[in-house]
Each structure stands twice: as structure tokens, then as C-alpha cells.
Amino acid sequence: MKNKFWLALVAILALGMATTLFFRSQIAQASPNGYSIGATVANFTLQNVGGNSVSLADYKYKKGVIVVFTTNHCPFAKAYEERIIGLDKKYASLQFPVIAINSNDASDYEEDSFDNMKKRASEKRYSFPYLQDLTQTVAKAFGATRTPHVFVLKNEGSKFTVQYIGTIDDNYQDPTSVTKRYVEDAVNNILAGKPVVVTQTKAVGCAIGWKDA
């Protein structure tokens, strides 16, 4: 009788471990080479459209940053452009600003060249940096695959950790029909000192065009 009990217990534990491992591997597959939730982000320095260079370390006195991988050409990125501007408007004053990064290989789409990035940023009066990731090393470090692809980073004493990875909200076609504001929810929770509830989402987006791919 006692033996049966232990056998059952061992079986249940083994099953539990197996399912945990299974789901872990599924999550790991989603971003094979990039940061996962909780990971510490390495500093990066990129060229801004304003001519200056911008580093993540420049934000050491902020509460966090909203890193958005985006492009000029991608219709999904265009559909979200006003909402990205809106995020910076809302959260920059709360010490949680936006950093936009274009990692696309400009030889795929002329619209994504540095000159056209400058034009776009000035036309739309971006209140945040719009950085060119010419070597694509930052996109690879993050595991960004598409645009727009958002990473919400929390800063604790110059240590930036990933708290949310995914899409801005649940309706790319129509901002007025949005019901779930994933990025806002994540930032609001971090600002309130609470854990982020939905930490990962997916969205359809333009694949980042890799060099030599």
C-alpha cells in the first residue's frame, strides 16, 4: 500500500517536470537566440537620426524604457506609428520613455535608409530617438524578428531587465477597437511596483530583413 503511494507520487512529480520542460522548450523556441523574460539587457550604442549616438546606459536614471523595433516601410509599423508616438507622450514624463530602433537591411527597402529615417522622424516629430542598427547586432541580441516588436525593460540601478516581449495591443487594424493594451499594462504595473501579468504576446509583422540572408 505504502509502495503504491510512493509510486504514484513519483509518477505525478515526473509528469509535472516533463510538462514544465515541454512548455519551457516551447517558449525558448519562440525567441531562439534572444532575451527571454527576466534577462538582463547588455548595453548598446547606436546612431540616432539627430546625428548623435544613443546608449541604453544613457537611461540609467529612468525607471525603464520601451524598446520598439520598427521600420519606415512596414504597414504594421505604419499602423502603429501614432500609437508609438502616443506611448512616448504618455510615459516619457513618467520616466519610462520610448527608444525606436530600425534594424532592417535598407537594401531590401529604400524607404528604410538612414536618410529616410531622418525624414520620417522629423516629419512626424518623433519625441524619442530613432536609431539605426546597421550591423543588426542589437536586433539579434534581443531576438527581434519582426516589426513592430516591443521589449519593455525595467531599470533597477542601471540594470535593465526584460519584463515584456510582444505586440503593443490586440488590434493592428483599428486603434479604436483595441481591448487589450499589453505595453501600457506592462509599464503601468512596473511603475506601480507590481509584476507584469501578460509577459509575452505575438503579432503578425514584417520580417526583419537580415543581411546576406
Partner 1 sequence: MRKVIALLGLGLLFNHCEANCQQVNVIKWQEVQEVLTTSSDTTYVLNFWATWCKPCISEIPFFEEVQKNYKNKNVKVVLISMDFVKDLNTRVIPFVNQRNLSTKVWLLNEPDANEWIDKIDPTWSGAIPATLIINNSKKKKVFFEQKLDYDRLVKELSDFL
Smallest separation, CB 8 to partner 1 (Å):
31
Cα–Cα distance for residue pair 74/196, rounded to 1 Å: 28
* Among the listed residues 38, 75, 82, 115, the single contact to partner 1 using CB under 8 A: 75
Q: What are residue 159's DSSP bridge partners?
A: 156
Smallest separation, CB 210 to partner 1 (Å):
10
* Among the listed residues 42, 45, 207, 211, the single contact to partner 1 using CB under 8 A: 207
**Residue number with CB closer to partner 1 (104 or 155):** 104
Other CB atoms within a 10 A radius of the CB of residue 115 amount to 10
Q: Look at residue 64 and give its three-state secondary structure.
A: strand
Contact present, 160 and 65 (Cβ < 8 Å): yes
Residue 75 class from Cβ within 10 Å (0-12 exposed, 13-18 middle, 19+ buried)? exposed
* Among the listed residues 126, 129, 166, 196, the single contact to partner 1 using CB under 8 A: 166
Is residue 171 at the binding interface for partner 1, with CB under 8 A as the rule? yes
Cα–Cα distance for residue pair 146/165, rounded to 1 Å: 12
* Among the listed residues 85, 109, 113, 136, the single contact to partner 1 using CB under 8 A: 109
Q: What is the residue type of 63?
A: K
Contact code string over 26-65 relative to partner 1, x by CB under 8 A: x--xxx----------------------------------
* Among the listed residues 24, 60, 159, 202, the single contact to partner 1 using CB under 8 A: 202
Smallest separation, CB 73 to partner 1 (Å):
8
Do β-strands 98-102 and 64-69 pair in parallel, antiparallel, or remain unpaired? parallel
* Among the listed residues 170, 195, 197, 211, the single contact to partner 1 using CB under 8 A: 170
Other CB atoms within a 10 A radius of the CB of residue 45 amount to 12
Do β-strands 53-55 and 45-48 pair in parallel, antiparallel, or remain unpaired? antiparallel
Smallest separation, CB 145 to partner 1 (Å):
4
Contact present, 109 and 71 (Cβ < 8 Å): yes
Smallest separation, CB 101 to partner 1 (Å):
16
DSSP 176: G
* Among the listed residues 177, 192, 194, 212, the single contact to partner 1 using CB under 8 A: 177
Positions that interact with partner 1 (CB under 8 A)? 26, 29-31, 73, 75, 79, 108-109, 145-146, 166-167, 170-174, 177, 180, 201-209
